[in-house]
Amino acid sequence: MNYTLEKLKTCRYLYWGTFLFLGFLVLLGLASSAYMEHEGHYVTGMNNQIVWGLPHIFAVTLIVIASGVLNIASMSSAFDKKLYKPLAPLSALFAIAFLVSGLIILVLDLGRPDRLIVAMTTYNFKSIFAWNIFLYSGFFVILSIYIWTMLDFNVSKFSSVVGKLAFGWRIILTTGTGSIFGFLVAREAYSTAVLAPLFIIMSLLYGTAVFYLLLRIISKMQNITIPSEITVNIRKLIIIFLLANIYFLILYHITNLYISKQIAIEKFILLDGGGYTTMFWLGQVGFGLLIPLFFELTNKDNRDFPLTLTSIMVIVGGFFAVAVIIIGGQAFPLNIFPDHTIIESSFFDNNIHGYTPSIYEFGLGIGGTSLALIIILILITNLKFIPAKK
């Protein structure tokens, strides 16, 4: 295919309108974070029971998406599918933008974000968190080089090699993200290796959905049409990833149900966890997996609208999926006395922990997400990322 890469050529008002709107949200996120840090985390919904909250849901979702949006570039470089080559730079750009925004949310939620330099210079190599710091910064460097090799003709011969490296790195990176939870032996909802492949398949699904949505928006702004082969293939990919996601989700829960000591947490998530059960069945499973699957299986003529709707639902469902994992896993009380029932405790040991996120956490999450979008907007306006026919 003969193609060239162009800058975004949308009307000035649309560009500045979008820029100012996203910029405002980014500032709102920064203000939320500054307020949380100045006052202390008591102003958030997080506490000593639910220690990770809405900012972590946003951050993990964005980092998972960052790995997943690279699918399109990986298919071009790692699997040599020529169809996707024109879209590969855009795919790598999305990955870097979502990675940066996810990490910034994580950092701004730290109790001591001013000690970032400590986190970057003092490592405990037994910690998967420390390994993730390497994986994330390595991914950033590899993606930057990858984009360079794709945009600069002089070094383009290296793009395939760097692309393959990026593909391998992203698989390890998402394994690392899943392992943050998988390595927590104390909590029944976690402590399983299945979480690592589950996170990988989640990243493939959410990333593909995000890529398609952003491609749709950019093509509208640029007034270009997405080639039908791309739509057909993305639809097929989403169906495969939806089925794989359902498979790993069933595997995760069946495994837990088979282990007697895990039955209580399964009962909590699947049956009597109140809001968490609702989030699981309606949000994660219904809205995020089954309805999109139905839409796409019936979308035999590959229409854009159902695919767009599917992508939106997958992303919203993905957000619920991460929420169920992060909040649901903490809400269930720790089993400190396995053959006893705690009847009294000043530290809420015998309670299902509730969590109501504050406006500041929401502000930080939305601000971070907007940061990803504004990075993309600025870069596609100033550098040539968008494919066009010669």
C-alpha span between 283 and 327 (Å, rounded): 14
**Closest to other proteins by CB, 127 or 382:** 127
* Span 126-185, contacts to other proteins by CB under 8 A: 126-130, 133, 180, 183-185
Q: How many residues bind other proteins (CB under 8 A)?
A: 50
Output 25 or 108, the one with its CB closest to other proteins: 108
Q: Which is nearer to other proteins, 59 or 313 (CB)?
A: 59
Q: Tell me how far apart the alpha carbons of residues 75 and 321 are, in angstroms, rounded to a whole number.
A: 26
Return d(Cα 364, Cα 129) in angstroms, integer. 21
Query: Toward other proteins, which CB reaches closer, 39 or 80?
Result: 39
Question: Pick from 52, 136, 206, 268: which binds other proteins (CB under 8 A)?
Answer: 52
Residue 51 makes contact with other proteins by CB under 8 A:
yes
In degrees rounded to 5, what are phi and psi of residue 268? -65, -50
Please report how close the Cβ of residue 265 comes to other proteins at its closest, in angstroms.
Answer: 14
Q: Using alpha carbons only, how large is the chain's radius of gyration in Å?
A: 21
The interface region with other proteins, picked from 69-77, 95-103, 114-122, 166-174 by CB under 8 A, is: 114-122
Interaction of residue 119 with other proteins, rule CB under 8 A? yes
37 lies in the binding site for other proteins (CB under 8 A): yes
Structure token pair of residue 333: 């009380």
User: What minimum distance in Å lies between the beta carbon of 167 and other proteins?
Assistant: 26
Options 12, 13, 118, 390; binder of other proteins; rule CB under 8 A: 118
Hey, which residues between 326 and 345 contact other proteins (CB under 8 A)?
Answer: 330, 334-345
4: helix, strand or coil: strand
Q: How many CA atoms lie within 13 Å of 25's alpha carbon, on the beta-carbon side?
A: 19
Q: How far is the CB of 136 from other proteins (least distance, A)?
A: 12
Scan residues 94-113 and list those touching other proteins (CB under 8 A). Answer: 110-113
Query: Which residues, 6 or more positions from 79, have their beta carbon under 8 angstroms from its beta carbon?
Result: none
Q: Does 259 bind other proteins (CB under 8 A)?
A: no
DSSP string, 103-165: HHHHHHHSS-GGGHHHHHH---TT-HHHHHHHHHHHHHHHHHHHHHHHH-GGGGGGHHHHHHH
Cβ contacts of 123 within 8 Å, gap of 6 or more: 130, 133
Residues near other proteins (CB under 8 A):
37, 39-42, 47-49, 51-52, 110-113, 115-116, 118-119, 122-124, 126-130, 133, 180, 183-187, 330, 334-349
